[in-house]
């Protein structure tokens, strides 16, 4: 709610356009006062574009950041505008910010860590691979950072690049009958929904919610979609016995290496593929999937 109020406040204030960037009052707990969009920006997108472009104009990101909590608030607020702005503007602004921060390795790392929480991790309110990649690509390549830090971000890059929107996706799994199959070997359908489960309570709740969703079951039963449920664990007779009780209109399998090779940052999660198994959306929560198949959800 805080970020929604921030955006409404920033966009509703009306100021005449001038050559100098005008600022709102500094947000509590932030590093600096944020820019205000002028009246010449007449749409939500144009106002957010302006704010994102000028967000860091009055802050020297090359100087040491001493207030980590304020940085966290500032990055969260910054990211709050992304979903309403043009993709190219966001990417250009982030790349410019990262380029300026690279003169201070400590600052660059702090930006990456805050971006991880705001754009990638389970607490993120807005997931965007391409924006997050712009933050961490220099971290994965920086020789000034410890090896384990570089490897952490390199691993994230590899996971994100392994599954990309607009690119065909395939994966091997072992069915409840013990036979290995690939997603590409399943019968054709208009859509594939790949549900990834862990072994925790949340995964169980998510699985039950999806198995009882009327709108989703209609898609599965009329052949519009196929749901493939993949568990991130090793095949065993005990697992097979349990999984045999999952929804009868699902394809169920397991693969113990899923979390090592795929972008499964929070389980359960879903990938949505078209009939050619091209990724339409990934890292969907159970709630997001249910909203997508049921407008009244």
3-state secondary structure 16-78: CCCCCCCECCCCCCCCCCCECCCCCCCCHHHHHHHHHHHCCCCCCCCCCCCCHHHHHHHHHHH
The model's pLDDT over 143-189, given as tens digits with 9 standing for 90+, comes to 999 999 999 999 999 989 888 889 999 999 999 999 999 999 999 99
Angle value at C-alpha 52, between 292 and 95, nearest 5 degrees: 95
Average pLDDT on 22-39 reads: 82
Report H helices in 214-284.
214-221, 237-243, 258-261
Of the three residues 162, 184, 216, the one that is the final residue of a domain is 162
Q: In what order do the strands lie in the sheet with 279-284?
A: 180-182, 172-175, 250-254, 225-231, 191-197, 269-274, 279-284
Q: Please tell me the total count of domains within the chain.
A: 2
231 DSSP β-pair partners? 197, 254
Residues 9 and 123 in one domain: yes
Residues 271 and 194 in one domain: yes
What pLDDT, on the 0 to 100 scale, is given for residue 263?
A: 85
Q: Residue 267 sits in which domain range?
A: 172-293
Residues 157 and 24 in one domain: yes
What is d(CA 277, CA 290) in angstroms, rounded to the nearest whole number? 20
What pLDDT, on the 0 to 100 scale, is given for residue 24?
A: 64
Residues 136 and 189 in one domain: no
Of the three residues 162, 197, 226, the one that is the final residue of a domain is 162
Lowest mean pLDDT, pick from 84-98, 129-143, 260-274: 260-274
What is d(CA 28, CA 5) in angstroms, rounded to the nearest whole number? 13
Q: Distance of alpha carbon 258 from its chain centroid, rounded?
A: 18
Q: Are strands 250-254 and 225-231 parallel, antiparallel or unpaired?
A: parallel
Please tell me the pTM assigned to this model: 0.75
**Torsion over CA of 46, 48, 50 and 51, rounded to 10 degrees?**
160
- Looking at every residue in the chain, the average pLDDT score rounds to 89
Q: Distance of alpha carbon 70 from its chain centroid, rounded?
A: 23
Residue 167 lies inside a defined structural domain of this protein: no
Residues 151 and 183 in one domain: no
The model's pLDDT over 94-148, given as tens digits with 9 standing for 90+, comes to 999 999 999 999 999 999 999 999 999 878 888 888 999 999 999 999 999 999 9
CATH of the domain at 264: 3.40.30.10
The single-letter DSSP state of residue 100 is: H
């Amino acid at each position: 709610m805080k970020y929604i109020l921030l955006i409404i406040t920033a966009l509703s204030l009306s100021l005449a356009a001038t050559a100098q960037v005008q600022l709102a009052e500094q947000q509590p707990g932030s590093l600096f006062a944020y820019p205000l969009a002028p009246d010449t920006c007449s749409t939500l997108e144009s106002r957010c574009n302006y704010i994102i472009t000028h967000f860091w104009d009055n802050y020297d990101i090359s100087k040491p950041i001493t207030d980590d909590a304020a940085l966290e608030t500032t990055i969260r607020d910054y990211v709050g505008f992304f979903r309403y702005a043009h993709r190219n503007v966001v990417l250009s602004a982030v790349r410019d910010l990262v380029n300026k921060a690279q003169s201070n390795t400590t600052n660059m790392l702090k930006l990456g860590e805050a971006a991880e929480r705001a754009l990638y991790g389970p607490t993120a309110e807005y997931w965007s691979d391409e924006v997050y990649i712009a933050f961490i690509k220099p971290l994965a390549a920086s020789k000034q950072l410890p090896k384990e830090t570089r490897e952490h971000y390199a691993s994230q890059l590899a996971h994100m690049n392994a599954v990309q929107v607009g690119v065909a996706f395939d994966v091997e799994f072992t069915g409840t009958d013990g036979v290995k199959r690939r997603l590409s070997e399943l019968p054709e359908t208009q859509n594939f929904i790949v549900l990834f489960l862990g072994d925790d309570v949340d995964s169980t709740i998510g699985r039950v919610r999806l198995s009882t969703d009327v709108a989703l079951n209609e898609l599965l039963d009329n052949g519009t979609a196929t749901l493939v449920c993949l568990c991130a664990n090793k095949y065993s007779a005990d697992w097979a016995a349990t999984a045999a009780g999952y929804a009868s209109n699902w394809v169920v399998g397991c693969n113990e290496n899923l979390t090592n090779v795929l972008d499964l940052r929070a389980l359960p999660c879903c990938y949505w593929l078209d009939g050619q198994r091209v990724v339409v959306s990934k890292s969907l929560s159970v709630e997001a999937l249910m909203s997508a198949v049921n407008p009244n959800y």
